[in-house]
Amino acid sequence: MARAIMLQGTGSDVGKTVLVAGLCRAARNRGLKVRPFKPQNMSNNAAVANIPGDNKAGGEIGRAQWLQAIACGVAPSVHMNPVLLKPQTDIGAQVIVQGKVFGEARARDYQALKGRLMDAVLDSWAKVGEGADLVIVEGAGSPAEINLRSRDIANMGFATRADVPVVLVGDIDRGGVIASIAGTHLILPEEDRRMIVGYLINKFRGDVSLFDDGLKAIETFTGWRCFGVVPWLKAAARLPSEDSVVLERLASGEARALKVAVPMLGRIANFDDLDPLKAEPQVEVVFVPPGKPLPADAGLVVIPGSKSTIGDLLKFRENGWDRDIAAHRKRGGHVVGICGGYQMLGRVVRDPHGIEGSVTEAEGLGLLDVETVMEPEKTVRNISARSVPFDLPLEGYEIHLGRTTGPDTVRPSATINGIEDGAISADGKVIGTYLHGLFGADEFRGKFLDSLGIKGGGIDYRAEVERALDEVAVELETHLDCDAIFALAR
């Protein structure tokens, strides 16, 4: 079995995902065969990964582990994230195990289910380590949630079973970092506390010497060693984000030639589809929170994916976004709907099996003459595709439930694996597709923006992600004792 080290946080969103990705790239740059692993993840930003032994099928993992696999220079595998929870309601989620739908569970029911899932976690753990020198593990939430400890599979429950040493990550940007680290030490049971080999501070701004007394205080309270203080990593903004919590902090940047408005759906999924547009120098992407109108000066509205199409469609109307998008269309504005967003653009969405909940039918936005029927079998696959209107290659993947049909599908937006996909309105200004990653194809993105009167293209988006990973790795090598961290792996 490969040696391993685990990063756990004092809370959610402390930057573990980027730190693990950066350490993976740093280890790879040292010539190590390194792999990422996250026992349990909760995110609607999913990616398609390989199912070993099945070249045709694809499975779902968290987008973070997909990014970390890129950092390692290896193909993503479903075993890198054996348990993925995709929230559908405030109290329930779809449970994905080793890439496949396992079922649905309310939060309380899931706690009872965890014991059964640990076997799958340990099975995947063994598979990920095969042929590797090092595995870098990412925890979820905080190990200090001791009320959940007895059935934990994400943090110390996993670390103690797999005997993986832990580095604790504290986020100084949110404040209270001394208390969060010292408090974690205080309330952890001894069995868990002894798994922690040290800590690091993340997201520091300014003169790090001003925190010297803080580091001394943490040492006094905990006895743990500090592996370093990581500054605010600017390159992280160029990496795909996984958790929708980051959307709450996104502010509109400087005005540019094209404003793209993106409604923040309650169950928004795969919103990293917008990242390549955000990277364009002439494009301003604005995520619009509930309660705020879609900006009238937007030239393009993109409705992203959703884990609960009918529920988000109903909320869409409650926010008045249906009126905003109708006005946008009257002004000659363009609209793109991706996956769940495509389904919302039609006349009606039906869910006869109650897959998404108790509401089994909802009127669509009527911008495309199509209708969608939800079906139990989920489509999960990487694809090869081609844009029909621009006759250019596309790249991406499908993760969706439902089948969409109707008159506007005679004008498909793409062909996926040789089969027509999506629909385009008669005037060409409304496009729907099931293809995630649509804007990641550089040549297509450039031509699409040209069709909107904007100079686009010229950016190799995938190369930008690779450069950002390299920059993060350099920063971590500079500010962390990576030698010590890697040496403590066992």
Which residues carry out catalysis? 339, 436
Strand ranges for 334-460 from DSSP E: 334-338, 348-350, 361-363, 371-373, 379-387, 392-400, 403-405, 414-416, 419-421, 423-424, 430-433
Nearest to 412 by CA among 373, 437, 385: 385
The pair of structure tokens assigned to 279 is 């990277």
Nearest to 302 by CA among 255, 270, 254: 270
* Identity at 402, one-letter amino acid code: G
* Identity at 365, one-letter amino acid code: L
Separation of alpha carbons 318 and 307, rounded Å: 18
Measured between alpha carbons, how far apart are the two ends of the chain, in Å?
A: 9
CA–CA distances in Å: residue 64 to residues 17, 83, 195, 218, 405:
6, 13, 24, 30, 33
The pair of structure tokens assigned to 332 is 């000659």
The pair of structure tokens assigned to 52 is 């070993």
Separation of alpha carbons 373 and 401, rounded Å: 9
Alpha-helical runs (H) found in 30-146: 63-72, 107-129
Contact 188, 160 (CB under 8 A): no
Angle at the Cα of 250 from the Cα atoms of 244 and 255, rounded to 5 degrees? 140
Residue with tokens 């993947």: 397
Separation of alpha carbons 69 and 71, rounded Å: 5
